[in-house]
Structure 1
Amino acid sequence: MAPRAYWKGTLKLSLVSCPVVLYPATTAAEKTRFHLINRETGNRLKQQMIDSETGDVVESDQKGRGYELRKGKYVEIEPEELEAVQIESNHTIDIESFVPSEEIDQRYLNHPYYIAPDGKAAVDAFAVIRDAMKDEERVALAKIVLTNREHVMAIEPLGKGLLGTTLRFPYELRDEDQFFDDIKSPKITKDMVELAGHILHTKAAHFDPSKFKDEYEDALKALVKRKASGKKIELPEPEERPSNVISLMDALKQSLKGRGGKKTAAKSHARRATGRHRSARKTHRTAARHRKAG
């Protein structure tokens, strides 16, 4: 049974529309989380809002919203003023265009949602929109209002349903030039690139998220379980970082050797063993011919 819907509305493509529901596609429910507690009593702590200048505790009825114009200078925005600019949801996912999926910059992808038909009567229209998108191999761009904010959503077929991913706006992305402009362009030899390419080939695989392992999360769960059972927690010895500096080419060679060195050594050993057996058989045949001739 599907969980409670996060959003209900209508998916609209021109004159074709159908009722749909949205479900968050991700969850943090399984993440290990900690609360702040009082070491002496073991009770959970509550946070309070403190005036940064006076140090006084601020009660809930004294709290307001303000935008910082300059350091320490704020303009207060009243709740009713904020409501004046909030967008009222019309509960419609209005598809505006279709774009090739490869044109969507991965940095714009934000939060994913599962989109399903809301009720049996919506299945036919939902299937028509979904299957048409499959045939065209394009991603729909639509507008939707979530939590009083307008979002652009990329929608694509996923199994029997649709996957809708909200997109970031351009002002939310940092310009890569400010991070990449200072990267030098050194002269790299062709041998280095080819050697790195060989390493890439040895690690070639297919995308399989089932193989992802959150080792830190597993360690946290084990730590909590061990601590709760009253067992002693043994702190690991700090790892020593290697201080020696080796050349890039040596590092590439060692990386390749570490990956395929055993296989290479095994092949070399097999070749040597085969060579010895061949040599022994040849010596045996030569001796036999000499005895026959004599």
Structure 2
Amino acid sequence: MATPRSIASLSLGFGLVSIPVRLYTATESAAAVHFNLLSRQGERVKQQYVSAVNPKRVIPRAELVKGYEFDTDRFVVFQPDELKALEDGASHLIDIVAFIPADAVDPIYYDKPYFLAPDKRGGKPYNLLKKAMLQSGRCALAKWAWKSKQYVVQVRAQEEGLILQQLLYAQEVRSLKDLRIEQLEPSAAELKLALQLIQQISQDTYDPTLFEDEEKKRILAAIDAKIAGEEVVAAEHPEDAGSSGQIVDLTQMLKASLEKRPTAAHKPRTSPAKGAPTVVSLRKPAAKAKRAPPSTTKTLVPASRTRMKK
């Protein structure tokens, strides 16, 4: 993974103390496998916007504006300068408003994480805040405007430094209560077996290096097979087993799980090549494409050099 690069110089407000910090991205998206849209003749295609009233009329991007539909087919239109005026300007201040217990924020509210590192002349107050939060067992809640949006953020301390975590607003997180989940009480025997199973496959730490994107590996292997002119082997999906809807004895299933050696969490899954794989012919005819509904506002036309990722 590439070394994080600073993306902004900010100030962390701690009472009357202003700590100069630099902001770094804490995560890096793994390079996804991208497919291009092509015609059946192998030509690249590009998107164009067309009128929903007159699909034959192509609308140039320069003529597009943004509108809010306040009633059926009734819009209020905003010009780019009007939208710009509504945006919250970026703030260089992360303003701490409260300190709360370090584990008080439910992780469901976690959004994008960042690293904070001390900037010039910020080392001493930065480390003071870090050590104070570690000893008090508390994290900070702060307000911060970034990229035209106002955020509530959590600043938490680790021995290596400070992490800034963007938080979701209450309106952005759904409640489990809305699902009206039926609360069924397990028997004492079932609960005892479940606790034994948890104990059997428990670990004290989380090691992210034990896991990898196996689906991406399968896709890349299939691409290599296509390039080599070989057949593609479909992956087995163990999670599909036992989904026939049959009623099972929960106690017997728990006992069988306890008798099974707990190796799944420590060893990589077996290769899809083992067992009885399903072979898909490269000459298998493609399914017919579905017609787009009449209200579609985008159409695809051939283009020799335009690249579009799906």
Higher strand share: 2
1:6-43 Cα offsets, whole Å, 9 max, x none, are 22221121221122111111111433232323442353
Q: Which residue of 1 aligns with 2:307?
A: none
Once structures 1 and 2 are overlaid, which stretch shifts more, 28-37 or 89-98?
28-37
Query: Which stretches of structure 1, 4 residues or more, deviate above 6 A after TM superposition?
Result: 237-240
* Rounded Cα–Cα distance in structure 1 between residues aligned with 2:116 and 2:10: 10
Q: 1:133 to 1:233 in 2, by over 3 A?
A: same
Once structures 1 and 2 are overlaid, which stretch shifts more, 219-228 or 9-18?
219-228
1:243-282 Cα offsets, whole Å, 9 max, x none, are 443222222222222348xxxxxxxxxxxxxxxxxxxxxx
Q: Which residue of 2 aligns with 1:205?
A: 203
Contact persistence 1:202–1:259 (CA under 8 A): no
1:114-151 Cα offsets, whole Å, 9 max, x none, are 111223x2222222222222222211111111111111
* Rounded Cα–Cα distance in structure 1 between residues aligned with 2:4 and 2:103: 32
Higher alpha-carbon Rg: 1
1:210-243 Cα offsets, whole Å, 9 max, x none, are 2122211221222223333333323458988554
**Structure 2 counterpart of 1:145, which letter?**
A
Q: 1:8 to 1:192 in 2, by over 3 A?
A: same
* Rounded Cα–Cα distance in structure 2 between residues aligned with 1:196 and 1:238: 25
Q: Which runs of 5+ in 1 are unaligned?
A: 261-294
Contact persistence 2:91–2:146 (CA under 8 A): no
| 1:90 positional shift | 2.9
Contact persistence 2:4–2:25 (CA under 8 A): no
**Structure 2 counterpart of 1:48, which letter?**
Q
Q: Which residue of 1 aligns with 2:215?
A: 216
Contact persistence 1:98–1:140 (CA under 8 A): yes
| 1:198 positional shift | 1.2
Q: Which residue of 1 aligns with 2:17?
A: 16
1:186-211 Cα offsets, whole Å, 9 max, x none, are 34211111111111111111322121
Pairs within 5 Å for 1:28-67:
28-43=29-44, 45-55=45-55, 56-67=57-68
What SS does structure 2 have at the residue aligned with 1:193?
helix
Q: Which residue of 2 aligns with 1:138?
A: 138
Contact persistence 2:21–2:117 (CA under 8 A): yes
* Rounded Cα–Cα distance in structure 2 between residues aligned with 1:143 and 1:54: 47
* Rounded Cα–Cα distance in structure 2 between residues aligned with 1:29 and 1:213: 11
Q: 1:37 to 1:19 in 2, by over 3 A?
A: farther
**Structure 2 counterpart of 1:58, which letter?**
I
Q: 1:185 to 1:149 in 2, by over 3 A?
A: closer
RMSD: 2.4
Q: Which of 1 and 2 has higher RCO (CA within 8 Å, sep 6+)?
A: 2
Percent identity for Structure 1 against Structure 2: 29
TM-score by length of 1: 0.78
TM-score by length of 2: 0.74
